[in-house]
Amino acid sequence: MYRDLNVARGVALGLLAAALLLLPTLSADAAQKVPNILWLTIEDTSQYEFGCYGNTQVKTPNVDALAAKGVKFTHASSVAPHCLPARSTIISGVFATTYGTGLHRGLFRSPKDRPFLPKLMKDAGYFCLNVNKKDYNTPTPNNLWDQGNKYTKSNKPFFAVYNNHDCHMTSVRHEVLPASDIDISHLPYLPNLPEIRANYYAAHLKEIEAVDLWVGKKLAELEASGRQDDTIIFFYSDHGGCQPRGKAFAYETGLRVPFIVYIPPKWQHLSNGMDMGTDSDRLIGFEDLASTALSLIGRKTPPQMQGKAFLGGHAQEPKAYQFGFRNNQGYHYDPVRTVSDGKYKYIRNYTPYKPLGMRQDYQWGMGANMAYDLASLKDELAPEHASFFKAKPCEMLFDLSRTGVFSSIGEEIIRTLSSAFQYALFGGENRDSLIVSIDKFS
C-alpha cells in the first residue's frame, strides 16, 4: 500500500512540475490578449520645446520620430502647473482639488474609496511598475506598485511608468550658465535678458536633448524585450517648463504639455478612430489618463473618476472644455482656476491683489527669475513685462488661436466669449465686458 502511495505521490509531483514549467508560456499567451502600456514621463517641459511641435532650436529626433508614427496631441493639458497636484490627478483620474490634494506640496489623507490606477490594473492581472516618481500628495495603499525596475521580470501584461528627471527645474538652479545669443522672440511674455536666454538655451533645451536620448534608449530596450508589438506607448511631461511664468503658473506655458501616443498595428482598433502619424486637436487632460488606461484593457471607468477615456473600447465623446487650477505658489496662497475650449482661455484669479511674481525660494534659485526680479526693481521692464510684479485682474481672457509658431502662446486678448463658452462658464449670465489684463500672452 505504501509503495502505491509513493508511486501516486511521485506521479502527482511530476504532473505539478510539468504544469509549473508550462506557466510562463501560458502567461505570455495571456499577455497577448490585452496590450502592455508604457508611460515615458518627463518633468517641467512645455509643448513648444520639442522639434515635433515646431521648435527649430532643439534637436529631439527620437521624440520627433515617435510623434511621426503616433498621434501627436496639440491640446493636451496638465490640470495643474505643479507636479504633485498633477500626479495626484493622474493616479486617480480625479481632479486633485476633489480630494483636497491640490496644494503643492503636502501629504494629505484621502478617503478610503479613492481609486488608484495601479491597483485597478493589478486587479486586472497586470504587472505594475513605477521607476523614479511616486509622488502623489497623499499616502497610497501598501504594495500599490510591484517591486523592481524592469517589466521583463514578469510574463504578465505590464503597465510601466518610467520618469526622467533631467529637465526638472533643478537643472537650471544655482549655477552660472554660459551666455547665449539665442532668439527668444517666440517667448514674447519674457524680457530679453541674458540670464533668461541662458536659462532657456544653455540649460533647459540642452536637458531636453538629453531627455530625447533617454527616450531613444527606452524604445530600444522595449524592442530588445521583444514586446514592442504589444505595447502602447505614451510620452508626456507633468506640466510646463522652467522659464519664468511657466511652471507654477496657470497660463498655457505652465499647463500645455507635449503628449504623444503610439499604438502598434495589432492594437490600432483601440485608437478610437485616430490614425497613427497624425495630429489631434482633441482636448485631453490629466484627469483622462486613468480612464483611458482602463479603457485600453477593456475596463469601464469607475464612477468616482472624472476623466473621459479618449482611447480604447470604452472611449467617450470629446469634451467641450478643459479645466485647470493652481492653489498656491510656494508658501503664498494664490488660488487660480482656468477653463479653455481650445480656442479661448479664461482665467479667474481669486487673490488679484497679489502679484504673479511673488518671490518663492525654489523658483528664485533660477538665475532667470532673479534677473527678472532685479530688472523690475530697477524699473527697466516694458509694461507688459513689468505687469508680472503688479496686482493682477480678477479675470483674464485669451484668444489662443492667434498665435505665431508655437500653439501654446496666445498673442491677443479678446473681450467677449462665444455664446456657448459664455453659457458654460457663467450659466448664461450676461458678461458683455470683462476685466482684461494688460499681459497679452497666455
The pLDDT of residue 359? 85
Three-class SS state of 31: helix
Query: And the C-alpha cell for 172?
Result: 537650471
Residues 290 and 352 in one domain: no
Residue at 285 is within a domain? yes
Q: Give the Å distances, CA to CA, from 165 to 65, 168, 171.
A: 21, 5, 9
Residues 237 and 341 in one domain: no
Residues 107 and 9 in one domain: no
Burial of 261 (0-12, 13-18, 19+ CB in 10 A): buried
Residues 135 and 279 in one domain: yes
Residues 276 and 370 in one domain: no
CA-closest candidate to residue 373, choices 365, 334, 285: 365
Residues 243 and 273 in one domain: yes
Residue at 6 is within a domain? yes
Three-class SS state of 142: coil
Residue at 433 is within a domain? no
Residue at 216 is within a domain? yes
Residues 128 and 211 in one domain: yes
Residue at 9 is within a domain? yes
* Whole-angstrom distance, CA of residue 196 vs CA of residue 244: 8
Q: Per DSSP, what are the bridge partners of residue 141?
A: none
Three-class SS state of 306: coil
Residues 6+ apart with CB under 8 A from 33: none
End residue of a domain, out of 293, 314, 335: 314
Residues 36 and 21 in one domain: no
What type of residue is 366? M
The pLDDT of residue 114? 94
Residues 11 and 148 in one domain: no
Q: Return the axis-axis angle of helices 206-225 and 61-69, rounded to nearest 10°.
A: 60
End residue of a domain, out of 255, 290, 314: 314
The CATH number for 204's domain is 3.40.720.10
The pLDDT of residue 173? 80
Residue at 151 is within a domain? yes
Are the beta carbons of 206 and 177 closer than 8 angstroms?
no
End residue of a domain, out of 314, 341, 360: 314
Three-class SS state of 171: helix
Residue at 319 is within a domain? no
- Per-residue pLDDT tens digits of the chain, which is 442 residues long: 434 434 344 444 444 444 433 433 334 444 479 999 999 999 999 999 999 999 999 999 999 999 999 999 999 999 999 999 999 999 999 999 999 888 888 888 888 899 999 999 999 999 999 998 888 888 888 899 999 899 998 999 999 999 999 999 888 886 667 777 888 888 888 999 999 998 888 788 999 999 999 999 999 999 999 999 999 999 999 999 888 989 999 999 999 999 999 999 999 999 999 999 999 999 999 999 999 999 999 999 999 999 999 999 999 999 989 999 999 887 889 999 998 888 888 888 999 999 988 888 888 888 899 999 999 999 999 988 998 999 988 877 777 776 432 223 333 333 334 444 444 454 444 444 333 332 334 4
Residues 142 and 238 in one domain: yes
Residues 119 and 203 in one domain: yes
- Residue 43: domain span: 30-314
Total domains in the chain come to 3
Residues 364 and 416 in one domain: yes
Residue 12: phi, psi to the nearest 5? -60, -45
Residue at 394 is within a domain? yes
